[in-house]
Amino acid sequence: MKTFLMAGVILFAVAGVLRIKAAELRIPFERYTLENGLRVILSRDNAAPVVAVYLIYDVGARDEEKGRTGFAHLFEHMMFQGSKNVPKGVHFKTVEANGGNLNGSTHADFTDYFEVLPSNKLPVALWLEADRMRGLSITNENLDNQKEAVKQERRMSFDNAPYATAIIDVWPTVFFRNWQSSHSLIGSFEDLNAATTADVAAFFKTYYAPNNAVLVVVGDFETATAKKLIETCFAGIPAQPRPRRPDLAEPAWNGPRSGTYHDALAQVPAVVIGWPGPKRRSPDYYAMVLLDVILTAGSSSRFYLNLVKGRESVVQYEANLGWPLSGPSDYVDPGAYAMMLLHKPDFTSAQIVTQVEAEIARIGKEGVPAAEMNRARTFLRSDRIRGVRTSIRRAQLLGQYEVFDGDPNLINTELDKLLGVTPEQVRQAAIRYCDPARRAVLEIVPGPAGKKAGGN
């Protein structure tokens, strides 16, 4: 579980009360598809006069081509630079003037945008999103401005932030061998500089089409009214040929992999450790989520009790299925179960790796006691129930389950699958997936900036 460093999207607006009994979640929703292929999910909850509009596009950094790295992220910026009927800067101003919040984010396998507004402003959010899906303002001026904005963001948030370059640029090259997964999500300055308006227009036409997107509306609305608004705003946008998807397959793992990165901004050393993860939605996927909770979630976790408090070797840590850019809900295989641990300088990275693997090996040998399994289940239940009380988080989950699984009802059934994982399944997953022979390690050393030593 994530405990520090790379914070996720800020969540806004608390939605209403849900009917919850034990592990049971019953979030009502309706799914349908417009003639142009736009999938729509409506989830009504009028406990609070708030509505969240969430649009997720089935394109991320792993869809980029060589020589076009950073396009998914660049395009997230371009989406706020004006559209057919909305001049530059007006999208932000309109939402904020109507009492709302908005944002967008780029991921390895999708890009998303949202607005959270008072419920009577639903037409505003839908119209804004439809206008930029219909016709983005792609000009040389906007493109040049956003190239510089992306560069500045990289300088401020990555190049001048401790550990960030190691996480975003270096770790993928240590863990992955397929270029689609190993290149940086942010992209290179060279590729950004080479981008033309024709390139951006082609990217827009290919990926920002209604039949490559899911629209989710959650909150206080009348269903008939929302449907009519959606039809009016989006139905006239033409579909496009479905984009060709890249081959993400990884070659066979042929032994441990490692690399070293010298980080002039880091104050304490760190180590990143990862193993190839399971297939999404497989029984092992659910078992690995439980394993992660047992190892890293909260002050009763094994890492906190045994590494932070016991050995006093680790200062902070972060772990997840899909780390660093994903979590279980948006994990897409091939991916990793990975973690980053900041540790005290009087311990070496090799010692930290040994300590981590000892904790995992103990689970593989001894299993997980019933009381510890119950704690992990309680944590997951509480985390999920707390999460879906926010309208935007509910919308995100519904959209991600539709894009990645074609099954938004997982929002109601997934928790039962997680709670049904047995101690033996966790033990077997620890053995099967956290194999030292299939391990990648990146050592982050405080000191003069430099490129990673060649991985093996």
Tell me what pLDDT residue 456 has: 52
pLDDT at 22: 40
Quick check: 150 and 73 in contact, CB under 8 A?
Answer: yes
Q: What DSSP character marks residue 279? A: P
Going from the first residue of the chain to its last (456 residues), give the mean pLDDT of each consecutive group of 10, the final group possibly shorter. Answer: 39 31 74 98 96 98 93 92 93 97 96 98 98 94 90 81 94 97 90 91 95 98 98 98 95 96 96 98 98 97 98 97 94 97 98 98 98 96 90 97 97 95 98 98 87 45
Take residue 206 and report the two structure tokens written for it: 């290919």
- If one counts every other C-beta atom within 10 angstroms of the C-beta of residue 315, the result is 17
Q: Cis omega before residue 334 (within 30°)?
A: yes
Cα separation, 431 vs 41, in Å, equals 39
pLDDT of res. 13: 28
pLDDT the model gives residue 449 = 60
Question: pLDDT tens for residues 74-110?
Answer: 989 999 999 989 999 999 999 999 999 999 999 999 9
Largest Cα–Cα separation, the chain: 64
- Using an 8 Å Cβ cutoff, are 324 and 167 in contact? yes
Distances 426 to 34, 321, 334, 361 between C-alpha atoms, Å:
42, 14, 20, 12
* Closest to 53 measured CA to CA, from 300, 278, 230: 230
Q: What domains can be seen in the chain, in order of their start residue?
A: 20-234 (3.30.830.10), 257-446 (3.30.830.10)
Which of helix, strand or coil describes residue 68?
Answer: coil
Q: What is the pLDDT of residue 141?
A: 93
The per-residue pLDDT for 24 is 65
Q: What is the pLDDT of residues 382-419, one digit of tens each?
A: 999 888 989 999 999 999 999 999 999 999 999 999 99
